[in-house]
Structure 1
């Protein structure tokens, strides 16, 4: 598989708010994958620095899928407007608006599939639970769950409490390096074990970002928020955790518990990524993970094509 070199940075405006994304485009896509990064990172999370084989933005187009890695509200071009994003419905509207603007002149193939990581799953799940979500091909969520591991719970709650106090934004590392380059418990949670990641990933330019304060609310209430949203999702769902996940409880029981929340989904698949940590798309196993998800996207495309053929036959009777 030859991974394409070109990834474009694109800017659009939605209701007066600038939004940005990285786009890896396939000429005649089977579908479009909209990728939502996690906290304290940007859309560059999906384009592993100096490692094209690990990049979703390059692997996707090589296999016939356009990938739109959106900078979530409060990140990238919209970072200066963070005070406008307290309402989660506003963030959903902005995300859908940005996707429409970004794709208005691009082919979509069978449709749009949403892929989200970590805190980005809050937006991904809300998009799928929204009435517009019924038109999606499907949803992938990774690096999230119902129960955090005890040490992670203590560290993350304290970190996001700081974001909420005074409404300030968390500052990125002064060195400009990604969070892995910094010491402390949080680094170990999201970047460990070290052997699962390329040695130079910490030097990847443009991955780290300040964090909008609203994410503290999402983190604190996620366990209560997820079940209600999950029950409203009516498209296929794929849920992934790394076998070395250190933020969320992992293993078969934890995967099954989250999968059981999607009671209205026609199909729910769980996946435990071998040699995967929290940041699945930046680890050495990133290609294996991306191939797993893109295989699921292809299955969603085939299901939509089959449904269209059935509708066509019924209409001809």
Structure 2
């Protein structure tokens, strides 16, 4: 039997344990799960989807499915932020509702959590589902973090057009107490996930009041307008068994075509994956694929600037 890169990496001990941290950003407490590398290749800012929180990127009970633990083991510092209105900022939902405010809080939280630490080659933004709205807004800005420009953007679990059965289920309070329909959309086929995670109970979180409006506007106008402003490399991942968003070739090509200012746009389909890619059995393969893209973003930046690339997980023996 062929041993893949995913097999080799996920058979190694993953000892990094993320810590929960809270920082104050202009009077708003912002929380995150953080996994640090001593000398980071780069920093990953991970933004969860709706009705969950930063635990999405640290799969409960399954450390090898955890982006935080895997990426830190491979030399990346990962900040899985509780998006504004989640985690420590849950009581400030009305204050954080404006989009510009949420972008400022995202940048501010990362800067304070890093607190002058090395960011390596820069910061890569990684998002899932409803977190893609904030991630794309952050990527569309011209700001950097830690004195470096953003490296690139990963989007998953999102799109431009819902599957026919979806509109009545999303953008409502149904996401806080999943109905059979929402369970079907987000957690099937069930064999793709550890059994105790199906339905999302271990990672469930209340949804801030502003989010249904954001979710409703995202495919209608926000995604198109914001995508056109992104000037960094983009990777878009559709799950093989995505049931929320259209992910057929014409739909994916339409998404690709929106990133008119990005220097590079890659479209991928993750085999064996469902909507919640970072929680399923395909998570290690998915995470490694995106980390390879991060490496390519770093290499592209280094070629453009003439600098030496930092050590990376793809350089054995370093």
The alignment's TM-score, normalised by the length of structure 1, stands at 0.88
1:239 aligns with 2:253: no
Deviations 1:204-239 (A, max 9, x none): 775110001111111111121111110111000000
Select which of 115, 134, 152 maps to 1:123.
Answer: 134
Select which of 272, 282, 285 maps to 1:288.
Answer: 285
Q: In the aligned structure 2, how far is the partner of 1:235 from the partner of 1:284?
A: 30
Q: Which runs of 5+ in 1 are unaligned?
A: 163-169, 174-181, 312-317
1:295 to 1:227, Cα distance in 2 relative to 1, 3 A: same
SS of residue in 1 equivalent to 2:167: helix
Aligned twin of 2:150 = 136
Aligned twin of 1:314 = none
Q: In the aligned structure 2, how far is the partner of 1:204 from the partner of 1:237?
A: 28
Contact 1:243 1:251 in 2 (8 A): no
SS of residue in 2 equivalent to 1:154: coil
Alpha-carbon distance, 1:90 to partner: 0.4
Contact 1:230 1:262 in 2 (8 A): yes
Select which of 230, 241, 246 maps to 1:249.
Answer: 246
Aligned twin of 1:315 = none
Aligned twin of 1:112 = 123
Contact 1:148 1:248 in 2 (8 A): yes
1:279 aligns with 2:276: yes
Range with bigger deviation, 203-212 or 41-50: 203-212
1:156 aligns with 2:153: no
Contact 1:146 1:258 in 2 (8 A): yes
The alignment's TM-score, normalised by the length of structure 2, stands at 0.88
Q: In the aligned structure 2, how far is the partner of 1:213 from the partner of 1:11?
A: 22
1:65 to 1:219, Cα distance in 2 relative to 1, 3 A: same
Contact 2:37 2:72 in 1 (8 A): yes
SS of residue in 1 equivalent to 2:78: strand
Aligned twin of 1:61 = 72
Q: Which runs of 5+ in 2 are unaligned?
A: 1-11, 309-318
Aligned twin of 1:262 = 259
1:191 aligns with 2:187: yes
Q: In the aligned structure 1, how far is the partner of 2:142 from the partner of 2:69?
A: 31
Aligned twin of 2:5 = none
Select which of 161, 170, 173 maps to 1:147.
Answer: 161
Matches within 5 A, 1:2-17: 2-17=13-28
Deviations 1:174-198 (A, max 9, x none): xxxxxxxx54101111111101111
Q: In the aligned structure 1, how far is the partner of 2:307 from the partner of 2:295?
A: 19
1:102 aligns with 2:113: yes
Higher percent of residues as helix: 1
Q: In the aligned structure 2, how far is the partner of 1:235 from the partner of 1:266?
A: 6
Q: In the aligned structure 2, how far is the partner of 1:189 from the partner of 1:106?
A: 40
Count of aligned pairs:
293
Contact 2:16 2:73 in 1 (8 A): no
Matches within 5 A, 1:150-229: 150-157=164-171, 159=172, 172-173=176-177, 183-202=179-198, 207-223=203-219, 224-229=221-226
